[in-house]
Amino acid sequence: MKVEERFLEYIKINTVSDETSSTHPSTSRQLILAKKLVEELKVLGILNAHIDENGNVMASIEASKDCKNAKVLGFIAHMDTVGQEDDSVNPQIIRNYDGNDVTLGTSGKVLSVSMYPELKEYTGRNLITTDGTTILGADDKAGVAEIMTLCELLKNSDEPHGKICIGFTPDEEIGQGGKWFDVEAFGADYAYTLDGDLEGGLEYENFNAASAVFEINGVEVHPGAAKGVMINAASIACKIQSMLPNAEVPELTEEYEGFYHLTELQGNTQKAKMTYIVRHHDAACFKAQKMTLEHIEKVLNEEYGKNTVTLVYKESYKNMAEIINQNYHLIENAKKAMQEAKVIPIIKPIRGGTDGATLSYRGLPCPNLGTGGNAFHGVYEHITVEGMEAVIEIMFNLVKIYSKVY
């Protein structure tokens, strides 16, 4: 089965995860895809394919006779997507794309070259887009389809290779994918996630990440008799936001710059709650962000009284660069694999996180490769068939490289 066919099948299955759920996986619909993948792997002759107790699909292809002692390489993608429970993906396929703007179905939306200049580079390719009403799901069903196609390629090839481990995780989009993945059972020495965007993407520097919640307790009295008595929780919330650096927000930052992002605000005079995500690539700057938040809590409690403001700060994941730099062959070999596939490596920091960030700190060094897609998490999401095929070639080249690494 070709990668295009697989991809189009997988995106038809709604696998939206749910951050409010306490189960693993967070939604049963992810298991529909998981079961399909296990069945397909077994048809390919990979009979050890299975779903573990947390909804992860795991499988492995045994090493060739002369590569039994080679390092064990893994490839990982995630099955869940963002979106809505009732999303029904209806992709458009533009054969021999002409490099111009694309009307997305009857939605009135247009995938424009001015917004996404790389579209010009896809002239002559087969472009897959949305119909303008949902996401496409290339994040990360492109990665899933590419790994599955690699499995078929390896099973039908005489190319010598070490043991190859395959993993598909649920709940990456809600930050739970790597947390519930059994690294020891997976069995790889090193791995790559397939969860980036453009072909040639190579990422090993991600954010340090945390959540920060301010809970504010006010004192409500009749406004006519409020002087010296009222403490307005909503006003204090406004003050908290004003005490943070104005320029350190997502819409004004890029590359290695960090931010405080107010994701939710609710409240009234009596009570208010502010939820932030806090991000920075640099560990020292990340620590300073926490100190800034703690200082705000301290200053406001001194002004309004003890326990008026309570900060709950929780770290989510760390920058995997610290781990990958100790295993830098993963980056050098990925660049070599791309060059052999005539793909230019694009090394850039991830302004987010991946399963690989968590897995790297759990003993499985795991940088991230691009899948060939772009504009993830929205109606302008798109990918080319040729981009996916290039990614498969890159993975195949990595398999060949690591067959000689002992």
Question: Which pLDDT tens digits describe the chain residue by residue (406 residues)?
Answer: 999 999 999 999 999 999 899 999 999 999 999 999 999 999 999 999 999 999 999 999 999 999 999 999 999 999 999 988 778 999 999 999 999 999 999 999 999 999 999 999 999 999 999 999 999 999 999 999 999 999 999 999 999 999 999 999 999 999 898 989 999 999 999 999 999 999 999 999 999 999 999 999 999 999 999 999 999 999 999 999 999 999 999 999 999 999 999 999 999 999 999 999 999 999 999 999 999 999 999 999 999 999 999 999 999 889 999 999 999 999 999 999 999 999 999 999 999 888 899 999 999 999 999 999 999 999 999 999 999 999 999 999 999 999 998 8
- Residue 203 marked ligand-binding: no
- Residue 78 marked ligand-binding: yes
The residues that are catalytic are 80, 172
Residue 333 vs residues 58, 105, 192, 337, 339: alpha-carbon distances, Å: 24, 41, 11, 6, 10
Neighbour count for residue 259 (Cβ, 10 Å): 22
Q: Tokens standing for 113?
A: 């070259």
Q: Which distant-in-sequence residues (6+ apart) come within 8 Å of 198 by Cβ?
A: 118, 346, 370, 372, 373, 374, 387
- Residue 152 marked ligand-binding: no
- Residue 184 marked ligand-binding: no
- Domains of the chain by start residue, with CATH: 3-205+320-403 (3.40.630.10), 208-317 (3.30.70.360)
Q: What is the pLDDT of residue 406?
A: 83
- Residue 377 marked ligand-binding: yes
